[in-house]
A and B are shown apart, each in its own frame.
Chain A
């Protein structure tokens, strides 16, 4: 059983008149430890797919199975539990809270799930090379450092699935490469699957598979 299975997924959004179909009959399996890139133009359905995979939304039809659990069968509490235990998110615009220190930002998923494990947050900061920056606030970091802090936060609760939406989109090439290197290393070391939406061929080049999307459908899959 793959870690993530999307079975014939369709997702419609309410438009002004007719519903807008964001995903159309998408099926995809992602194995544990695998690094998969989603490529395609803006609006092709990459982010929608990530949200469905991350138990943030329900498909209109089809099934999303995360570590064997059908997200459609879960209520709000169930989805929250699934995210807390199994999913980590990395965002294009980092999404760190300015009112918290870097260490507190990283520890936030643990705190939200009622765990207090400062050691785990520090360890993840060390993993991304920010162990000396824990007491700083996000605005005192560079873009690359902020994204590394974002990755540390996504990993702090040891998720099985890491979802990254354009993680290098706001970074220069060198910093972007460094961030991708961290992501790739983590996937391998931790055995976590990574599903990354990206426009960048360079970014996609370091992944195990590239899923090409167009108009809400999977156009093709390339293996490296």
Chain B
């Protein structure tokens, strides 16, 4: 064991420690790659896992959940209670409340305290407390850390009103608990409750119990295993999390290029050493193992650092991811970020697998070195073979395979073929790069010499001479640039599409909604009388009350909404996939069981114009004919929209979730706003102007994609660090040349310029290749991956200024990455390095 450790130290660790700066750069690059993957995993789990804790807060040990779109009629609890089974029926109201003092929003759960609808594991709430509380309206149980203790008064925004409650006790779960009667009153639920949890006897099993209960209940009421909503949300979030995960691996892919380069450099440098050890009896497998061990050390060190980095980055990402989840999908309450054994295992697995795989090719090459050849030729004369013709052929094959994968369908809502096409395109580009580098350097060396002097000639020749190394570096940086470009174009196009859509869609002058936290799955309502009061104002020409309910279609959450068709026809400019006008489509909804559905809904459920969709509404199931599919970018859950009269027929609650207010020409928005504020005095209502609403929406959009940009930035940082590390290696390998140039009259400034020009050329090549690849990838992202993942049609748009800025920054960073290696090069002692051999 000890001799082996010694060999490991001598052949693996010592060479790494000899160049601490380069080793540190490589380890840091791996660490960043691992850290990003880990951060997205941890933050995704904390943010997306949180709806589980919100919805299921204080759910206890129930087996089934009973739900209905628009709420479960409270008589259903009575039906269940009178069934001849030993059931524990727990009606619940679920919403959110905002603690006024801190502004923090937490789940608000209303349960029937008299019935003891709580599992005992939640906090200090005793049965005695529960009985006592029954007569005490206006009391709540809160979690520690909400800024109040037992006996205190706490101000909460519940529904659209602020109320003062007495803290009756503390809970373990992160939620606020109150009696269901209080919750129903304060939230204006009327005769409906949100869900009923049912604890059934163990036999004959949850499925059979669900069937038995379902048969006793009205058809619109659904009985499902407890946690089904969580599962639905998880399924809905799967594509989002999957896409985020894939993006998080880009930095690691870039890091893999750099490991490949590091090990290749190591193999080239140590050829004589390989020859000697082989001559002294080392086996091919032994040589292979040494280089794989070197990669594994980089991987292990990167994993250790990556865990710490990942934890830190997760803290930064969780809020961003959480707000995206909330805006586009479901209420989210970020959970704590926890490094578990699984996280550590993930970090080490990906780090070791990626580094060892990346090192496999150069390590195999090292193991095939003939001892005699290695010792006689020495390292300098060794030029790694690059087969440009063969590589171009492989590039063509990969390109053709990418073209095939491009047209593949989604698999379980995931664009697997789309991502395969992306990987194939990256591979195609990587194999085409040697020809690009070689071709460009031949064409450009004279031009460069004329433009930038002899240093540029030397730099371009050097890059062409070390084609393999150059190609790997250009490959790494261009992949990062390509992804940055592609995502930049995709997000830019999306943003432009959303802006145009908002201009078409949002025509009202003022928008009202209940105050407090919003999310895609929450639709708190306004006072039912408010729209009529606003419509009566002299400055108002029309109001459109929009009502939304959460529903479920084919096992996925969706939003069921209604609006005033007349107002929509008068002011709206909805665009339809069929190309028909709103004037042709919307009248089809009037008084009919007909709906228009949003594009994400249509794509997710493969619904087309003329299809029928069945939704559970109240206590019945209703079939709607799909009149058309409309473009919509509000959220990814998907909308089913019907005429307001149709909705009221099935769900007779007239309260609106939000109200669009259209002003008379010449009326002052501020005056009308003041009048509305007076009407709504005492209620928590948010009034937004048209421009405020659009600005808020774009803010949400930008926040949503901030994490995407951050991931791209990390990939670019990894690549630039790789360039710095590779230039350092290059300086060390070419020290004799730099020394010689000094003998021949080169100044230190010229040596510095040579390195910086070389870095600049690498950056230029990477920018050219990255931009070309990025353009193709952006088409893939916009028209295949996005479409299959989220179902949105995006108009292609070039965000020229953003791209130009980003590419300039990357280019500058690449050139700056040459500064330290250049400093090292200028400090070399020419006498020593020239006479080394």
Q: Nearest B residue to A54 by beta-carbon distance? A: B743
Contact B748 A153 (CB under 8 A): no
- A47 contacts partner chain B, Cβ-Cβ < 8 Å: yes
**CB-CB contacts below 8 Å: A68-96 with B:** 76-77, 80, 83-84, 89, 91, 93, 95
CA distance in complex: A146, B453 (Å) = 25
Contact mask for chain B residues 616-655; partner A; CB cutoff 8 A; 1 contact, 0 none = 0000000000000000000000000000000000000000
A137, chain B: closest CB distance, angstroms: 10
- B349 contacts partner chain A, Cβ-Cβ < 8 Å: no
**Which residues of chain A are within 8 angstroms of B584 by Cβ–Cβ distance?**
none
- A104 contacts partner chain B, Cβ-Cβ < 8 Å: yes
Determine which of B461, B741, B837 lies in contact with A112 in the assembled complex, contact meaning CB atoms within 8 Å.
B741
Determine which of B453, B737, B750 lies in contact with A97 in the assembled complex, contact meaning CB atoms within 8 Å.
B737
Determine which of B454, B462, B745 lies in contact with A80 in the assembled complex, contact meaning CB atoms within 8 Å.
B745
Contact mask for chain B residues 735-753; partner A; CB cutoff 8 A; 1 contact, 0 none = 0110011111111101000
- A140 contacts partner chain B, Cβ-Cβ < 8 Å: no
- B834 contacts partner chain A, Cβ-Cβ < 8 Å: yes
Q: Nearest A residue to B465 by beta-carbon distance? A: A99
Contact B461 A100 (CB under 8 A): yes
- B835 contacts partner chain A, Cβ-Cβ < 8 Å: yes
- Tell whether A77 pairs with B740 under 8 Å between CB atoms, given A100-B461, A112-B454: no
Contact B457 A76 (CB under 8 A): no
- A121 contacts partner chain B, Cβ-Cβ < 8 Å: no
**Which residues of chain A are within 8 angstroms of B737 by Cβ–Cβ distance?**
97
Contact B745 A56 (CB under 8 A): no
- A200 contacts partner chain B, Cβ-Cβ < 8 Å: no
**Which residues of chain A are within 8 angstroms of B464 by Cβ–Cβ distance?**
99
**Which residues of chain B are within 8 angstroms of A113 by Cβ–Cβ distance?**
745
Contact B743 A76 (CB under 8 A): no
B609, chain A: closest CB distance, angstroms: 65
A196, chain B: closest CB distance, angstroms: 16
**Which residues of chain A are within 8 angstroms of B830 by Cβ–Cβ distance?**
56
Q: Nearest A residue to B748 by beta-carbon distance? A: A76
**Which residues of chain B are within 8 angstroms of A109 by Cβ–Cβ distance?**
744-745
Contact mask for chain B residues 29-52; partner A; CB cutoff 8 A; 1 contact, 0 none = 000000000000000000000000
B446, chain A: closest CB distance, angstroms: 11
**Which residues of chain B are within 8 angstroms of A104 by Cβ–Cβ distance?**
457
CA distance in complex: A112, B449 (Å) = 11
**Which residues of chain B are within 8 angstroms of A38 by Cβ–Cβ distance?**
none
Contact A91 B465 (CB under 8 A): no
- A173 contacts partner chain B, Cβ-Cβ < 8 Å: no
- A98 contacts partner chain B, Cβ-Cβ < 8 Å: yes
Contact B743 A112 (CB under 8 A): no
- Tell whether A97 pairs with B740 under 8 Å between CB atoms, given A47-B835, A51-B831: yes
- B697 contacts partner chain A, Cβ-Cβ < 8 Å: no
CA distance in complex: A114, B454 (Å) = 8
Contact mask for chain B residues 819-837; partner A; CB cutoff 8 A; 1 contact, 0 none = 0000000000011001101
- B458 contacts partner chain A, Cβ-Cβ < 8 Å: yes
Contact B743 A83 (CB under 8 A): yes
Contact A112 B744 (CB under 8 A): yes
**CB-CB contacts below 8 Å: B438-465 with A:** 449, 453-454, 457-458, 461-462, 464-465
Contact A112 B750 (CB under 8 A): yes
Q: Nearest B residue to A107 by beta-carbon distance? A: B454
Question: How many residues of B sit at the interface, in one of the four size bands?
Answer: 20 to 34
Q: Nearest A residue to B830 by beta-carbon distance? A: A56
**Which residues of chain B are within 8 angstroms of A76 by Cβ–Cβ distance?**
747-748
- A28 contacts partner chain B, Cβ-Cβ < 8 Å: no
CA distance in complex: A112, B750 (Å) = 8
**Which residues of chain B are within 8 angstroms of A84 by Cβ–Cβ distance?**
745
Determine which of B461, B736, B831 lies in contact with A56 in the assembled complex, contact meaning CB atoms within 8 Å.
B831
**Which residues of chain A are within 8 angstroms of B831 by Cβ–Cβ distance?**
51, 56-57
Contact mask for chain A residues 103-116; partner B; CB cutoff 8 A; 1 contact, 0 none = 01000110111100
What is the total number of residues of chain A having a CB less than 8 Å from a CB of chain B? Answer: 27
**Which residues of chain A are within 8 angstroms of B744 by Cβ–Cβ distance?**
83, 89, 108-109, 112, 153
CA distance in complex: A153, B743 (Å) = 12
**CB-CB contacts below 8 Å: B445-503 with A:** 449, 453-454, 457-458, 461-462, 464-465
B92, chain A: closest CB distance, angstroms: 76
- Tell whether A80 pairs with B746 under 8 Å between CB atoms, given A57-B831, A93-B837: yes
**Which residues of chain B are within 8 angstroms of A47 by Cβ–Cβ distance?**
835
Contact A99 B458 (CB under 8 A): yes
CA distance in complex: A104, B446 (Å) = 12
Contact B465 A112 (CB under 8 A): no
**Which residues of chain B are within 8 angstroms of A112 by Cβ–Cβ distance?**
454, 741, 744-746, 750
Contact mask for chain B residues 219-256; partner A; CB cutoff 8 A; 1 contact, 0 none = 00000000000000000000000000000000000000
**Which residues of chain B are within 8 angstroms of A89 by Cβ–Cβ distance?**
743-744
Q: Nearest B residue to A98 by beta-carbon distance? A: B465
**Which residues of chain B are within 8 angstroms of A157 by Cβ–Cβ distance?**
745
A104, chain B: closest CB distance, angstroms: 7
**CB-CB contacts below 8 Å: A32-57 with B:** 47, 51, 54, 56-57
CA distance in complex: A217, B464 (Å) = 47
**Which residues of chain A are within 8 angstroms of B741 by Cβ–Cβ distance?**
108, 112
A59, chain B: closest CB distance, angstroms: 13
Contact B748 A56 (CB under 8 A): no
A171, chain B: closest CB distance, angstroms: 16
CA distance in complex: A178, B835 (Å) = 24
Q: Nearest A residue to B383 by beta-carbon distance? A: A98
CA distance in complex: A97, B457 (Å) = 12
**Which residues of chain A are within 8 angstroms of B750 by Cβ–Cβ distance?**
112
Contact mask for chain A residues 138-159; partner B; CB cutoff 8 A; 1 contact, 0 none = 0000000000000001000100
**Which residues of chain A are within 8 angstroms of B458 by Cβ–Cβ distance?**
97, 99-100
A122, chain B: closest CB distance, angstroms: 17
**Which residues of chain B are within 8 angstroms of A99 by Cβ–Cβ distance?**
458, 461-462, 464-465
Contact B746 A56 (CB under 8 A): no
**Which residues of chain A are within 8 angstroms of B745 by Cβ–Cβ distance?**
80, 83-84, 109, 112-113, 157
- Tell whether A111 pairs with B454 under 8 Å between CB atoms, given A76-B747, A93-B837: yes
CA distance in complex: A98, B462 (Å) = 9
B750, chain A: closest CB distance, angstroms: 6
**Which residues of chain A are within 8 angstroms of B742 by Cβ–Cβ distance?**
56, 80
B731, chain A: closest CB distance, angstroms: 16
**Which residues of chain B are within 8 angstroms of A54 by Cβ–Cβ distance?**
743
CA distance in complex: A61, B741 (Å) = 27
Q: Nearest A residue to B450 by beta-carbon distance? A: A116
B395, chain A: closest CB distance, angstroms: 25
B449, B453, B744: which has the most chain A beta carbons within 10 Å?
A: B744
CA distance in complex: A108, B746 (Å) = 9
Q: Nearest A residue to B736 by beta-carbon distance? A: A95
Q: Nearest B residue to A154 by beta-carbon distance? A: B744
**Which residues of chain A are within 8 angstroms of B748 by Cβ–Cβ distance?**
76, 80
CA distance in complex: A36, B404 (Å) = 74
CA distance in complex: A68, B395 (Å) = 62
**Which residues of chain B are within 8 angstroms of A111 by Cβ–Cβ distance?**
449, 453-454, 457
CA distance in complex: A113, B748 (Å) = 13
Q: Nearest B residue to A77 by beta-carbon distance? A: B747
Contact B747 A80 (CB under 8 A): yes
Q: Nearest B residue to A105 by beta-carbon distance? A: B744
Q: Nearest A residue to B449 by beta-carbon distance? A: A111
CA distance in complex: A83, B746 (Å) = 9
A169, chain B: closest CB distance, angstroms: 12
Q: Knowing that A108-B744, A112-B750 are A-B contacts, what are 10 other residue pairs whose CB atoms are under 8 Å apart, sorted by A's residue number?
A: A56-B831, A77-B747, A80-B742, A99-B458, A100-B457, A109-B744, A109-B745, A111-B449, A111-B454, A111-B457
- Identify the 5 closest CB pairs spanning chains A and B, nearest first: A84-B745, A111-B454, A99-B461, A99-B465, A80-B747
**20 A-B residue pairings within 8 Å (CB atoms):** A56-B831, A76-B747, A80-B745, A80-B747, A83-B743, A83-B744, A84-B745, A89-B743, A89-B744, A91-B834, A97-B740, A98-B465, A100-B458, A100-B461, A108-B741, A108-B744, A111-B454, A112-B741, A112-B744, A114-B453
- B interface list, Cβ under 8 A from A: 449, 453-454, 457-458, 461-462, 464-465, 736-737, 740-748, 750, 830-831, 834-835, 837
